[in-house]
């Protein structure tokens, strides 16, 4: 059966997760902030909710989670925190 991107609930699943690399994640969060005015302070919790989705598999998931938590705890920008976390 053909499934399109217009069917997000059936398009990806735990059995066939979408891969999210860190560059794409940072760019997506930047787009949410700049084009859609998503509050910077809410980005870390959004990332943490995304990490919990079985239909997504993240590159460096453990470090993405650490960066989201550090950004949330310290009020830092998520992208900057992720870059710093990946550089350690």
pLDDT digits (tens, 9 = 90+) for 48-61: 999 999 999 999 99
Contact 23, 58 (CB under 8 A): no
pTM of the model: 0.82
Contact 58, 20 (CB under 8 A): yes
Domain ranges of the chain: 16-87
Strand partners, 46: none
pLDDT digits (tens, 9 = 90+) for 59-76: 999 999 999 999 999 999
């Amino acid at each position: 059966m053909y499934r399109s991107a217009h069917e997000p609930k059936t398009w990806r699943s735990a059995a066939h997760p979408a891969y999210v690399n860190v560059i794409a994640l940072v760019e997506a969060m930047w787009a949410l902030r700049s084009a859609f005015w998503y509050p910077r302070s809410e980005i870390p919790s959004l990332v943490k909710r995304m990490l919990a989705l079985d239909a997504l598999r993240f590159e460096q998931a453990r470090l993405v989670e650490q960066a989201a938590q550090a950004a949330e705890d310290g009020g830092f920008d998520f992208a900057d925190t992720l870059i710093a976390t990946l550089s350690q």
